């Protein structure tokens, strides 16, 4: 590789990584400095999905709030679920930081702010540098699910995830398969595999998808 | 430098524009899907062996041609080493998918079409459905041994895309992409990634060609894990188990 290309690759990698690197808070400081803790779920300031049906936040940042759950979790992201008359899907992603990831837990509340259901970290699948859970909110769930608290799962805190793919040095590659172009990352086979720890803070995204499948010619 | 960024922009936009919209499977709404017919994918006769950042690519068009010739030579070396023992990848994938989907409780059959390798999904599914079929599973795949650069290991890769269509309402009830081996790009967060086993890593084409049976095992592992992941996504149980809290 020439020096020019190496410089371009490094610049590209920096550009791609900078968005994540600049938003990593110091979680221990945030935990120590937390204020305005409330114990009651109805005291939170619940946020709505944006126009694209998404909520993106750093748990531990200003978007999230401090909680004092009896089970030991600290930060919480309180979200208002849509009063939808149609079934929908919630896709919750927790993204890998440099060597850590939020151990997510979703707690669903009813209209009276009472917990009615939960999805723990063990129900989130690890793939493609993220924990993900797809939760189908069908008619039965829609009756009861009014609010979502996204928080940390104390059962998973501190646990290590072995042999996960970690993005370090990226070289995006395009492979055409018929009309489809796949873009994927190349890192050296050893450097992109490692372990990550479940921690209390990290970048999360919740996306609401209406269940309206595409229709094809049949 | 300017040209490089234009190229990169085209590359990224091309990658994004070609991605089919993912559709997550909703088990509760699709309990009626019992019999799936797999439309057999096109055959892949040869397993490409490619170095993604080949040194030759840094020397203009001539260098790129030399790089392509070098990788064509590596591909020939590996495929000749495998020879007659090269699996029928089309059948390997269909067989693995059938087994994995049957474990999830589906009845599975398959049909052959005259699709070409360069085709993506079929444009139309007319006349491919019989009365016993509740859903059609369409897929395509790309198998290869890829290395990041001149000094990196060749590892097995499988890239696949799959969609499931409900024959009653013509709806695409599941659609996604799967990457075995190297992970998808930052821009393809919807895709699923499956790690390959480190034992199938070869530092040179000579080492790869010297262990053809083991190298093929690496690709077959990819086929198996890909099939299992697809079946997992189509499980009749929800992807995330919601635990009800009883007061």
User: Could you give the number of structural domains in chain A?
Assistant: 1
Let me know if residue A177 belongs to a domain. Answer: no
Whole-angstrom Cα distance, residue A14 to residue B167?
47
Shortest alpha-carbon distance between residue A160 and chain B (Å): 17
Scan residues 51-80 of B and list those with Cβ closer than 8 Å to A. Answer: 52-53, 55, 58
**Model confidence over B231-245: pLDDT tens digits?**
999 998 876 778 887
Q: Is B244 exposed, middle or buried (0-12, 13-18, 19+ CB in 10 A)?
A: exposed
Residue-level pLDDT at A137: 92
Among B3, B21, B26, the residue to mutate for chain A (most A Cβ within 10 A): B26
Residue-level pLDDT at B17: 44
Q: Which residues of B touch A128 (CB under 8 A)?
A: 179, 183-184, 188-189, 191-193
CA-nearest residue of chain B to A141?
B242
Looking up tokens 């390959």 gives: B196
Among A178, A196, A207, the residue to mutate for chain B (most B Cβ within 10 A): A178
Is B44 within 8 Å of chain A by CB? no
The contacts of residue B125 (CB under 8 Å, 6+ apart) are: A216, A217, A218, B39, B136, B138, B165
Is B113 within 8 Å of chain A by CB? no
Q: Which domain CATH number covers A49?
A: 2.60.120
DSSP B246: -
CA-nearest residue of chain A to B167?
A218
**Model confidence over B8-43: pLDDT tens digits?**
333 333 344 456 788 999 999 999 999 999 999 989
pLDDT(A70) > 90: no
Residue-level pLDDT at A6: 38
ipTM: 0.80
- Beta strands at A88-95 and A202-210: parallel, antiparallel or unpaired: antiparallel
Query: 3-state class of B210 per DSSP?
Result: helix
Let me know if residue A62 belongs to a domain. Answer: yes
Q: Regarding predicted confidence, which is higher, A94 or B239?
A: A94
In chain B, the domains with their CATH numbers are 20-233 (3.40.50)
Residue-level pLDDT at A189: 52
Structural domain of A66 = 27-160+193-210
Segment A48-56 shows an average pLDDT of 89
Whole-angstrom Cα distance, residue A80 to residue A98?
30
Q: Which residues of A touch B182 (CB under 8 A)?
A: 173, 184-187, 192
Whole-angstrom Cα distance, residue A176 to residue A34?
49
Is B105 within 8 Å of chain A by CB? no
- φ/ψ of A204, rounded to 5, equals -130, 155
The contacts of residue A11 (CB under 8 Å, 6+ apart) are: none
Whole-angstrom Cα distance, residue A138 to residue B243?
15
Let me know if residue A183 belongs to a domain. Answer: no
Residue-level pLDDT at A172: 59
Task: Give every residue of chain B whose pLDDT is below 50, as ranges.
Answer: 1-17
Residue-level pLDDT at B52: 77
Dmax of chain B from CA atoms? 72
Categorize the per-residue pLDDT at A21 as very low, low, confident or very high, splitting at 50, 70 and 90.
very low
DSSP A88-131: EEEEEEEE--SSEEE-EEEEEE-TTS-EEEEE-GGGSEEETTEE
Neighbours of A36 (CB within 10 A): 7
pLDDT(A142) > 60: yes
């Amino acid at each position: 590789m020439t020096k020019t290309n190496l410089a371009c690759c490094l610049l590209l990698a920096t550009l791609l990584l900078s968005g994540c690197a600049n938003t990593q808070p110091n979680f221990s400081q945030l935990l120590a400095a937390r204020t305005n803790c409330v114990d009651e779920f109805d005291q939170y300031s619940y946020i709505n999905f944006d126009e694209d049906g998404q909520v993106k936040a750093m748990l531990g940042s200003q978007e999230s709030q401090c909680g004092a759950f009896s089970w030991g979790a600290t930060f919480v992201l309180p979200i208002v679920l849509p009063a939808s008359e149609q079934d929908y899907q919630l896709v919750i992603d927790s993204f890998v930081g440099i060597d850590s990831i939020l151990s997510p837990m979703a707690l669903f509340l009813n209209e009276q702010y009472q917990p009615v259901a939960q999805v723990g970290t063990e129900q989130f699948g690890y793939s493609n540098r993220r924990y993900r859970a797809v939760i189908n909110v069908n008619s039965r769930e829609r009756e009861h699910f009014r609010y979502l608290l996204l928080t940390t799962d104390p059962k998973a805190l501190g646990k290590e995830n072995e042999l996960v793919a970690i993005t370090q040095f990226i070289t995006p590659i395009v492979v055409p398969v018929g009309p489809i172009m796949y873009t994927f990352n190349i890192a050296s086979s050893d450097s992109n595999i490692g372990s990550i720890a479940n921690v209390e803070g990290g970048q999360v995204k919740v996306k609401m998808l209406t269940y309206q499948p595409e229709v094809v010619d049949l | 430098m300017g040209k490089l960024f234009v190229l990169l922009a085209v590359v990224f936009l091309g990658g994004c524009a070609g991605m089919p919209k993912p559709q997550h499977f909703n088990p509760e709404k699709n309990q009626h899907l019992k019999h799936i017919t797999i439309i057999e994918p096109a055959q892949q006769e040869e397993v490409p062996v490619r170095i993604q950042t080949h040194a030759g690519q840094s020397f203009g068009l001539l260098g790129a041609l030399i790089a392509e010739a070098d990788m064509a030579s590596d591909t020939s070396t590996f495929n000749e080493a495998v020879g007659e023992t090269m699996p029928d990848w089309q059948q390997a994938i269909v067989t693995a998918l059938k087994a994995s989907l049957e474990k999830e409780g589906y009845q599975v059959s398959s049909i052959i079409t005259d699709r070409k390798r360069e085709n993506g999904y079929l444009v139309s599914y007319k006349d491919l459905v019989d009365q016993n079929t509740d859903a059609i599973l369409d897929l395509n795949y790309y198998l290869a041994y890829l290395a990041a650069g001149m000094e990196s290991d060749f590892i097995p890769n499988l890239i696949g895309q799959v969609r499931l269509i409900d024959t009653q309402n013509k709806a695409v009830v599941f659609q996604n992409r799967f990457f075995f081996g190297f992970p998808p790009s930052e821009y393809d967060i919807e895709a699923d990634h499956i790690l390959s086993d480190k034992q199938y890593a070869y530092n040179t084409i000579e080492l790869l060609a010297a262990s053809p049976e083991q190298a093929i095992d690496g690709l077959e592992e990819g086929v198996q894990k890909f099939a299992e992941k697809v079946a997992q996504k189509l499980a009749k149980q929800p992807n995330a188990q919601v635990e009800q809290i009883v007061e």
